[in-house]
Amino acid sequence: MSDRRDDDGESRTDDVSERSAAELDDRRDRRELRDRYYGLLQELRVVLPGVQVLVAFLLTVPFSDRFEDLDPTGRTAYLVALAASLLATVCFVTPTAYHRAGGRTERAARLTWALRATRAGLVAMAVSLTSATFGVTRFVFGPATAWWVTTGLVLALASCWVALPLLTASTGRGSAGSGGQE
């Protein structure tokens, strides 16, 4: 909690964990900004190995004997999956690089950009997973099955990565002490 003055000069107490990164002051809310940034870096430590494994597998695919059997649609799906997984890796590493190279006193801006890069990485990862799933299921089971499986994946991703966080944020039923990163 911090003591702030409202527009009328009245003193009021508010919970800094309820404010977005852009609303936090680099000096006054230094601890909150630092805690959120380090929390984000911890989350990325969990996500990054999975993306790296995905990239590694995708980089080995062209050396497979059956890669030549892919038609143009399959190759396009592969290219999209590879490019998106590489972009996801770049986005997920960006907050760490920014933390090391960015200005130490620009905490709010650093956190805001780190959150943007992380969101972009999640979008790229979703595109990669979707494209890879479509390409593999199309190659193995045919186009009809590929569309059904890929549609199911898109619905699962949208539910878990978009709808659930938005629902939780709008109802205020998140876990206690989560602080809401942003």
> Whole-prediction pTM value?
0.77
pLDDT of residue 109: 76
How many domains does the chain contain in total?
1
Flag whether 45 is in a domain.
yes
Flag whether 145 is in a domain.
yes
Q: Extract the runs of DSSP E, i.e. beta strands, from 7-78.
A: 11-14
pLDDT of residue 112: 82
Flag whether 32 is in a domain.
yes
- The phi and psi torsions of 109 (rounded to 5 degrees) equal -65, -40
DSSP code at position 89: H
Buried b (16+ CB within 10 A) or exposed e, 62-81: eeeeeeeebeeebeebbebb
pLDDT band for position 20 (cuts 50, 70, 90): low
Give the orientation angle of helix 72-101 with respect to helix 30-60, to 10 degrees. 150
Residue 122 CA, distance from chain mean position:
3
User: To 5 degrees, how large is the angle CA 49–CA 81–CA 57?
Assistant: 50
Flag whether 1 is in a domain.
no
Average pLDDT over residues 12-23: 59
Residue 90: both structure tokens together? 């770049």
pLDDT of residue 95: 86
pLDDT band for position 151 (cuts 50, 70, 90): very high
Share of the chain above pLDDT 70, in %: 75
Range(s) of the domain holding residue 71: 25-166
**Which tens digit of pLDDT belongs to each residue from 97-121?**
877 776 666 777 777 888 899 999 9
Flag whether 17 is in a domain.
no
Flag whether 18 is in a domain.
no
Flag whether 154 is in a domain.
yes
Residue 24 pLDDT exceeds 70: no
The whole-angstrom separation of Cα 163 and Cα 170 is: 10
Are the CB atoms for 98 and 61 separated by under 8 Å? no
Flag whether 43 is in a domain.
yes
